[in-house]
Chain A
Amino acid sequence: MGKLITEPNIPDPDGFYEELVGLHEGLTEAQSAAVNARLVLILANQVGDREVLSEAMEAARKAAENGIDRQEG
C-alpha cells in the first residue's frame, strides 16, 4: 500500500460510527444500499486521488476475502 491512510484518522471514532449506522435507521435494505452507493461516490470525489481510490477499493475487497484478517498497510 502506498498512499492510502491506514492509520486511525477519524477524530471521535465512536461518534462517527454511531452517525454512520444512524444514517440507515428506518431504511429498507434497498434504500440503505442506495444511500451507501451515494456515500461512496461523494467520498470518492472528496478524495479525488485516483491512486488512493484504487488502493481503497483493493483494501475493501481484500478485507472481505481474508475474512477476519485486517488490512495492515
Chain B
Amino acid sequence: MAQSLGQRIFETPLYPYRRSPDQKAGAPVRHKVVVVGAGPIGLAAGIDLAQQGVPVVILDENDKVSHGSRAICFAKRPLEILDRLGCGERMVEKGVTWNIGKVFFGDRKVYEFDLLPESGHKRPAFINLQQYYLEQYMVDRVRELEAAGAPIELRGRNRVEAVGVHDDHVRLEISTPEGPYNLEAEWLIACDGARSPIRSMLGLDFVGKVFEDNFLIADVVMEADFPTERWFWFDPPFNPGQSALLHKQPDNVWRIDFQIGWDIDRKEELKEENVRRRLHAMLGEDAKFDLEWLSIYTFQCRRMEKFRHGRVIFAGDAAHQVSPFGARGANSGFQDTDNLAWKLKLVIEGKAPEDLLESYDAERIFAADENILNSTRSTEFITPKSPASRLFRDAVLDLSEHFEFARPLVNAGRLSVPSIYDESPLNGPDDADLPRRTRPGAPAADAPTREGWLIDRLGNRFQILAIGTDAPEHFEEAGVDVEVVRLSPDESPEFRERWLGEAPGAVYLMRPDQHVVARWQAFDDAAMRAALRRAIGLE
C-alpha cells in the first residue's frame, strides 16, 4: 500500500533483534507488564512505566521506526506529556511551529485564521514533525533509561502469535527469527495499532463507521516559497470536487494530501508518474521536487466498547480510531497511556484496587467519543455525504469569504485539545469560585512561575499545590506520598488568572498525570484525605 523512494531513516533497523535469556528459560518467564507495539503509544507506555520504576518489556514484530511521516501534527497537551517522558525538547527543537491556516474554495482564498496561541505556556499549540523522528527520539529515550538501570526492554522482531488470558496473568506465544518462545505478563498493554492483532486474537471488535473515501498522501521534498502555514483546499481546480491539504514538516518536506474518492485503482494512483502529474497540477509545471513517501489510506471513526478486558488493556489506535482531520489520532493515544501508567503502577504496588483501572475506561472512552464526534463532523464537512450536505458546505464556504459569522462553521478539522474529565469517578470537590479551566478533571493549565514553567514542576506523583495558603510540610494517605508544592499568588499574572481568579489563595490536589483531582480555598485535612482516597479508587 505504501512505497518508499530511496534509503531513508525509517529503513534502518533501530532496535534490531537480540536474543533474550527468556527464550532459553525452561518455563515461561513472567513479567510485570508487557507492551505490544513499539509505535509512539507503546513506547510512551513503556517509558512512563519504566520512569516510575515499573518493570516493562516492549515487543514489536518490526525493528524500525514508522514507515513514512504518518502522524505529523503534535498538539500542546501531548507535547507536555512527552516532556514528562523526556522526549519533548528534541521534538520541539526539530519540529516546525505554525499558527496561520488558510482556507481555499475553488480557485480563491476564502479566509485565513491565526491560532493566536495564548501567552504563558511552555509549549506551542502545535508542531509538525515526522512520526519517524518522534519514534527515533523515543527509542533513544528507552536506551537512556536502560543505561541508567531502569527496568525497560525493547525487543524487536518479536511477534505475538497467540494470547491466552487468565485471571491473574496473560500468556503470550511469540515468534522470533530464532524460533518461538512463551512469555507471561501480569498485565498486557496492547498498543498494536489500528489493525491490532491482539484485538483480533481476543475476538473483540469495533463499533463505528468506515468512510468510503481514499486519500493519497505524498511527502514531497522541495525548496519552496510556501510559508509555514496549513493550507486547506475545498474543490480546488487541481483536484476538482475533492479536497487537498498542504502542511510543512522539517527538512523541507511537505505533506500533501489529496482526497481521491472511493472508486479508484490504488496501484495506478500510486504510480510515480501519476502522483507527479497531480503534484505538477497543484504546484505548477516548473515545480522541482523529490518524492519521499507515498501512501493511500482510508479511515474509520470507531472504538472498542471497552478498552480494558481483565488483564489486557488497549490504548491508542488499537482502542479507537478517528479520521485524520484534527490530528486526534496519535495525540489522543498519548493521553491514553498518560492516564493509564500511574493507575497501573498503584495497582501493581497494591496501593490501589484493580477497580481503579475502570476509571481508565471511563475517562478515555469519554475522550475517544469526543474525538470521534469531532472528527466525524469534520469528515462530513470535508467530504459531504449527500447533495444537501454539499449544498450547505458550499454555502458556508461562499459566505465565509464575505461574512465573519460563517467562518466558525468551516470545518477543515477541529484541532486536538485535551478532554476534561468532568464526570470522572475520581474527581473530588470543586470550589466554583476558582477559575473554570482548572476545575476537577481538567489537565493542568501551564503558566510561568518563579522557578520555571509550572508544567515542568508537575506530574509523576500526587501533589498538593498550596497557593498563598497554609498546608502541611508532608502529606501521606493510604500509603501514597504526596508532594507539597508551595506557590505564591504572584508567580505570574497568567498563573493567578488560571489558578486563582479572584480568590486570595487555593489548594489543589493533582494527579500524577497532571490532572486536577479537587480544589478548595483553604487546606482541610479530612477533605484532602477523602479526595486522595477517591482518586485512587478506594472510595
Contacts and interface: CB of A to CB of B under 8 A. Distances in A.
Interface of A: 33-34, 37-38, 40-42, 45
Contacts of A45: 405-406
B183 interface: no
B315 to A, nearest CB: 35
B395 interface: yes
B399 interface: yes
A15 to B, nearest CB: 25
Contacts of A41: 392, 395-396, 399, 406, 409
A38 B405 contact: no
A24 B125 CA distance: 45
B391 interface: yes
A42 B399 contact: yes
Interface of B: 391-392, 394-396, 398-399, 403, 405-406, 409
A37 B392 contact: yes
B309 to A, nearest CB: 39
Contacts of B396: 41
Contacts of B405: 42, 45
Contacts of B394: 34, 37
Nearest to B406: A41
- Please report whether the interface of chain A is mostly helix, strand, loop or mixed according to DSSP: helix
Contacts of A33: 391
Nearest to B387: A33
A34 B392 CA distance: 8
Contacts of B403: 42
Nearest to A45: B405
A39 B394 CA distance: 13
Nearest to A37: B395
Nearest to B404: A45
Contacts of A38: 395, 398-399
B391 A34 contact: yes
A45 B392 CA distance: 14
A41 B392 CA distance: 8
A43 B480 CA distance: 57
Contacts of B395: 34, 37-38, 40-41
Given A37-B391, A42-B403, 20 more contacts: A33-B391, A34-B391, A34-B394, A34-B398, A37-B392, A37-B394, A38-B395, A38-B398, A38-B399, A40-B392, A40-B395, A41-B392, A41-B395, A41-B396, A41-B399, A41-B406, A42-B399, A42-B405, A45-B405, A45-B406
A40 B409 CA distance: 13
Nearest to B392: A37
Greatest chain B CB density within 10 A among A34, A41, A45 is at A41
25 contacts: A33-B391, A34-B391, A34-B394, A34-B395, A34-B398, A37-B391, A37-B392, A37-B394, A37-B395, A38-B395, A38-B398, A38-B399, A40-B392, A40-B395, A41-B392, A41-B395, A41-B396, A41-B399, A41-B406, A41-B409, A42-B399, A42-B403, A42-B405, A45-B405, A45-B406
A48 to B, nearest CB: 9
Q: Which 10 A-B pairs have the closest CB atoms?
A: A37-B395, A45-B405, A38-B395, A37-B391, A37-B392, A33-B391, A41-B395, A38-B399, A41-B399, A34-B395
